[in-house]
Structures are given as C-alpha cells and as structure tokens.
Amino acid sequence: HSDLATEPAATSQRYGLDNYVMNDPAYMRLYCIAGGNEQLIERLAARLTATVRLRHRVTAISSDPSGQLRLVWQTPTTEGQQHFDAIVLALPVEPLGRLSFAEPELAAAMGRHLAHHDHPGHYLRISMLFERPFWRAWLRDSYCMLDAFGGCCLYDETAREPEADHGILGWLLGGEAAQRHATLPDEQLVSLALTSLPKAWRPAESQVREARVHRWIGAVSGQPGGFSSLSPDRRHQPDPVGHPRLLVVGDYLFDSTLNGVLDSAEYAAGWLATMMAEEDHAV
C-alpha cells in the first residue's frame, strides 16, 4: 500500500501488479547509491556547464513571433524573461498546473495533459538516527511492514552498511494515511513512530540522536502514465503540432521511481539531440 502512494481503488490493477512483482528478485534487481541518492544530483551538477539559477520561479511560457519560446520568471526581488529554442519542464503535476500559458491552443493542450496525469499520490516519511542499530537481532531484512499508521513500511536504512555503529530507521506512510498525518507537528509524528515499534524496542526513545519528517503531499503519481497508455511522444509533447519544442519530463509519465524520471529525461535529451543534429544538417 505504501508503495502505491494512494488507495487501491484510486489506481489500476496493472500498477498494483507492477509494484508487487518488483519485490521478486527474479523480476528485477535493486541497487542503491553509496552515500545516498544525493550523490546522483551532485555528480550531475558537477558535469553541467549551463547556468543554474536557484530560487527563480517560472510563472509563464509563450511563443514569440520568431518561433522561440519565451519563459517568464520571478525571484523575491525581481522578475525577467528569456527566450529559448526549446524548453523542458521537469515539474510534478501540481506545480506544472500553476504555470500560465499565453496561447489558447497551448493552454488547452496543457490542460488535457494535466487532466490525463492528475492522479495525486502522497508520501510522508519519518526518519530517525539512533546511537546504534539495536534492531538487528529482530529485523534481519532491510524492511518490514507495520500495522501502525494504517499500514506502513519500516526501513532499516543502515542495512547496506552492516559495520555501521549508528542506525537509521525510516517510516514510510502512503496514500490517505500520509495525507491525514501530514497536518500533525513533527514532534507528534516522531512520538507516534517510536510508539509503533515492538515493545522490546521501546527504550529506543533514549537512543534517538536526530529525527526528520518529510512530507510529499500530491508530489507523486498514484497512476503513472494515466489510466490509458500514451506513446512516449505524446507523453512528453503536450502540443506536438503547435509547440513541438516544449517538452515535459517527470516520473509521473512512467512509474514514479528514480528510474522513471531518468527514462523520461533520457527521452527528452534524445529528442533535443535529434533536433540539433537536424538543424546542423540543414545548415
């Protein structure tokens, strides 16, 4: 249930089956990034030569008479615009819906895109750092399921580091449970999580060194790709005739995983590379 990020009635049997078979090692193999997933972001950023503008919020997109795309942005102190040959929007569905599109045809196309993919899923994660991994005698695997919070997954985040002196546990809530608990203060959520542990672990409270709560409400998809499948072109180009150089990228187009967003980004990168190669050939 927590893997789906939504309730079973709000998604499809196919997506539920996809999540189930992913637990079978004969179906797929799982890998982790040494040092955490942030290493992927840092390595990608280190390879970029483009200008990266942080804390710039994009507000509107339109076309100009030359055929370029105009992007309007804001910061807390100023605003501006830039023109590009192509634009890739890498946003979840909810913030994508907050953008303004000037041309009626483009606005209508984006509306259809959003309607097809608007199946919000929710996650809430409670992570705690402990003095030591005192649960190893009981939790032999990297995760287990708990009845708490309407059913949640408990992860041993240090399972991949058997020699670690410290220990990290993560509670993952999905769907309505995540949405319902998201309004509670962090301190209360941490207390509820500690209470959910087996009684033999109750001294765990005295070993907590740090705790964090992350809320992803509506930030993931409960039905990636929508209920009817679209071709990769249609998924990534909401208005292929009027604005073929406006692309969207997101895990919600594939399977709500890191692999999904990388597959989506690879498609967009391939499309842009083809476009540039064709332009060079024409010249």
**Is residue 161 included in any domain, yes or no?**
yes
Are 172 and 156 part of one and the same domain?
A: yes
What contacts 24+ positions apart, CB below 8 Å, involve 236-240? Answer: 236/264, 236/267, 236/268, 236/271, 238/106, 238/109, 238/110, 238/112, 238/113, 239/105, 239/106, 239/109, 239/110
Quote the pLDDT of residue 223. Answer: 82
What integer pLDDT is reported at residue 255 of this predicted model? 79
C-alpha distance from residue 18 to each of 21, 65, 108, 205 (Å): 6, 46, 32, 37
Q: What is the pLDDT of residue 1?
A: 46
Q: pLDDT of 60-99, one tens digit each?
A: 999 988 889 999 999 999 999 999 999 999 998 999 999 9
**Residue 59 confidence (pLDDT):** 97
Count of domains forming the chain:
2
Average pLDDT, the chain: 86
Check whether residue 94 and residue 125 sit in a common domain: no
Residue 17 lies in a domain: no
Averaged pLDDT for residues 139-151: 87
Does residue 45 carry a pLDDT above 80? yes
Residue 19 has pLDDT above 70, yes or no: no
- Are 99 and 228 found together in one domain? yes
In this structure, the answer to whether residues 114 and 238 fall within a common structural domain is yes
Q: Is residue 265 located within the same domain as residue 152?
A: no
Rounded to two decimals, the pTM is: 0.79
Q: Which domain holds residue 202?
A: 121-220
| Radius of gyration of the CA atoms of the chain, in A | 22
CATH number for the domain that contains residue 152: 3.90.660.10
**What is the DSSP secondary structure assignment for residue 138, as one 8-state letter?**
T
